[in-house]
Amino acid sequence: MHDGSNRKWFCLELPAIGYRESWSLQSRIVAGRKDKVIDTDVILLLQHLPVFTLGRRGGLNNLTVSADFLKKAAIPVIQVERGGNITFHGPGQLVVYPIIDLRAARLAVGDYVENLEEVMIRAA
């Protein structure tokens, strides 16, 4: 596996942010990386404002709160491009979005995911 110790990273810590706003920021960073406008890997650290996201296998039938509750609490439900089911994101939860050029790091996706899992297990 590639050491990667000489690679530059830019870490951006954001205040609580809406899901769509963070998705837009991630998309702009990815585009900047592809266009070579941004030359470093980026890690976003943030908390989301309350939101439920529905992955490809998610369905509103898996939601455990009522539509009335969501409306009163102003909590959006957003269909997203990831796999998985339904996830709540909200204040107090640290969310980390790594935007990394895996080719430059000489990592296959599976190896990256395995390494990320190991880091999270050790950090817990």
**pLDDT tens by residue, 76-98:** 999 998 888 899 999 999 999 99
Tokens 């709540």 belong to residue: 88
Six token digits for residue 107: 């990592």
Which of 92, 54, 94, 93 has its CA nearest to residue 70?
54
CA separation (Å) from 64 to 61, 68, 99? Answer: 8, 12, 32
45 and 20, same structural domain?
Answer: yes
From the centroid of its chain, how far is CA 51?
A: 13
Asked if residue 1 is part of any domain, the answer here is no
99 and 44, same structural domain?
Answer: yes
Q: What is the pLDDT of residue 55?
A: 87
Tokens 């990256």 belong to residue: 112
- Provide the number of structural domains found in the chain: 2
In angstroms, the CA 51 to CA 74 distance is: 9
For the chain, residues with pLDDT lower than 70 are 1-6
Q: What is the pLDDT of residue 5?
A: 60
Asked if residue 69 is part of any domain, the answer here is yes
In this structure, are residues 87 and 114 in contact, taking their beta carbons and an 8 Å threshold?
Answer: no
Q: What is the pLDDT of residue 3?
A: 54
120 and 69, same structural domain?
Answer: no
69 and 42, same structural domain?
Answer: no
Q: Which domain holds residue 95?
A: 9-49+90-124
In angstroms, the CA 98 to CA 111 distance is: 15
44 and 95, same structural domain?
Answer: yes
In angstroms, the CA 11 to CA 96 distance is: 10
21 and 77, same structural domain?
Answer: no
